[in-house]
Amino acid sequence: MAHLHLKIQSIEQVCLFELSWGKGQHLSVMLFYPQYLTKIYQEWQECYLNFYQNSLRGRVADIGCIETIIVDWQAKLVQAEVKLLSEFHKWLRSAELYEIRTTISNIAKEQSPIPVTLFITCNCLELTRLPWEAWDINSEFSLSSEKIKIVRKPINIYQTVKNVKGKNRSQKIRVLAILGDDTDLDFQAEKQAIIKLNSIAYIEFISWQPGQNITELKTKIRNTIVSKNGWDILFFAGHSNENDLTGGEISIAPNTTLSLTEITPAINIALERGLQFAIFNSCNGLSIANTALAYLTC
């Protein structure tokens, strides 16, 4: 399978697209970045958050005589998504990118019928947020929908491949599930889905309890991650925030966050002990995903 790497860097008002493949082949172009794309993304994000927040909270009966204006956030979300994808595709079909697009499609045709993987790396959150997986190179060049697979890749990778001792297949998969702050959230579906894995997995849950000491909770999370028995899967559900400096923050209790940099040493130990996969089911988590990918490459 052919692997292509496309790095996109924001440099003031332009973007540098650098495509590399094969035995040192390389192609680069500069493309103006339209600021309206960021504005359209923000509009979509507002609709997305409002739709899901209103869906989770439900409707509250009107009190008094003040008429409540009901907004159809689902319709607004659909319209915002169509607008975002349309403008994003229009930008990527710019004449400046034609050589890169044709190079990618030609390599894909040469590899037929084997799909090619296009790894995309961005140097800032503004670019990373864009829906790269929706890039329609396949349809533009009349290729099958699975011919070119787009995969995100972090700009930095710290973890080298390690030889982890193979797990005895008679042992159950070990899953550590951390359930964070559940304000305006409902984890019942997640818990039930995880519990259904009981027949094939050993599962341990960690979650904040009212009155629990926050320092003790943070210590418990770090100590459990580095369990001597090791974990195969680390799962987190809850609120989160993007933060380039700290690698992102997960909310483990009301008004309490834990940064990825705080648990990086624990994750490194967990990797040594067999951790293979991490799932962060949270919003505003691109910096978390990039940080996790940078370490979980074994």
Q: DSSP secondary structure string, the chain?
A: --EEEEEEEEETTEEEEEEEETTTEEEEEEEEPPTHHHHHHHHHHHHHHHHHHHHHH-PPPP-SSPPPPPP-HHHHHHHHHHHHHHHHHHHHT-GGGHHHHHHHHHHHHHTTTS-EEEEEEESSHHHHTS-GGG--HHHHTT--TTSEEEEE--S---PPP--PPPPPTTSPEEEEEEE---TT---HHHHHHHHGGGGTEEEEEEE--TT--HHHHHHHHHHHHT-TT--SEEEEES-EE--TTTT-EEEEETTEEEEHHHHHHHHHHHHHTT--EEEEE-SS-HHHHHHHHHH---
Residue 295 has pLDDT above 90, yes or no: no
180 in Cβ contact with 253 (< 8 Å): yes
Residue 286 has pLDDT above 80, yes or no: no
Which tokens go with 113? 């019928």
- Per residue in 34-49, pLDDT (tens digit) is 999 999 999 999 998 8
Higher pLDDT, 31 or 244: 31
Residue 103 has pLDDT above 80, yes or no: yes
Mean pLDDT on 209-220: 93
Q: What is the pLDDT of residue 185?
A: 79
Q: What is the pLDDT of residue 59?
A: 46
Candidates 237, 291, 283, 287; CA nearest to 45 is: 283
pLDDT band at 52 (very low <50, low <70, confident <90, very high): confident
Q: Does domain 3-36+73-152 have CATH number 3.30.420?
A: yes
Among 58-62, 155-159, 247-251, top mean pLDDT goes to: 247-251
Q: What is the pLDDT of residue 184?
A: 77
Mean pLDDT on 47-74: 68
Indicate the CATH number of 173-295 among 3.40.50, 1.20.1070, 1.10.287, 1.20.1440.
Answer: 3.40.50
Q: What is the pLDDT of residue 279?
A: 85
Mean pLDDT on 74-84: 95
Residue 165 has pLDDT above 60, yes or no: no
Q: What is the pLDDT of residue 61?
A: 44
pLDDT band at 249 (very low <50, low <70, confident <90, very high): confident
Instruction: Calculate the CA dihedral of residues 51, 52, 58, 64 and round it to 10 degrees.
Output: -40
Range(s) of the chain covered by CATH 3.40.50: 173-295
Q: Phi, psi at residue 52, to the nearest 5°? A: -75, -35
Residue 109 has pLDDT above 80, yes or no: yes
Number of neighbouring beta carbons within 10 Å of residue 34 = 14
Q: At a CB cut-off of 8 Å and minimum separation 6, what does 240 contact? A: 180, 248, 249, 250, 251, 280, 282, 283, 284, 285, 288
Q: What is the pLDDT of residue 153?
A: 86
Q: What percent of the chain is predicted at pLDDT more than 90?
A: 54
List the strands of the sheet with 256-259, edge to edge. Answer: 240-241, 249-253, 256-259
248 in Cβ contact with 154 (< 8 Å): no
Among 20-29, 66-75, 174-183, top mean pLDDT goes to: 20-29
**Whole-number average pLDDT of the chain:** 86
pLDDT band at 107 (very low <50, low <70, confident <90, very high): very high
Higher pLDDT, 87 or 277: 87
